[in-house]
């Protein structure tokens, strides 16, 4: 059991200077239509890539290439 990464193209998903930093709690994630609990995920901004780090032990299975992850939140793309 490990951590898998899903990524989205986004210029930024970070809060502007002077505001509270953006966390996974500012987004809602679904995998194959099922809600992903926030304690099973973390986020990372790496340049123009927004990374979703998934703790596969917490969600109960490993990510596969055909899994669909949908996210709602504030992205600037």
Q: What is the pLDDT of residues 17-36, one digit of tens each?
A: 787 777 888 889 999 999 98
- d(CA 28, CA 12) in angstroms, rounded, equals 16
Sign of the torsion formed by the C-alpha atoms of 38, 41, 45 and 48: negative
Does this model's pTM top 0.85? My answer is no
Predicted pLDDT at 1: 45
pLDDT surpassing 70 at residue 57: yes
Cβ–Cβ < 8 Å for 28, 73: yes
């Amino acid at each position: 059991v490990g951590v898998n990464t899903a990524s989205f193209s986004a210029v930024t998903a970070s809060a502007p200077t002077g505001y509270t930093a953006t966390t996974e709690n500012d987004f809602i994630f679904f995998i194959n239509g099922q809600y992903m609990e926030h304690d099973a995920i973390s986020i990372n901004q790496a340049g123009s890539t927004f990374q979703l780090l998934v703790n596969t032990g917490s969600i109960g299975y490993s990510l596969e290439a055909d899994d669909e992850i949908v996210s709602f939140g504030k992205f600037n793309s």
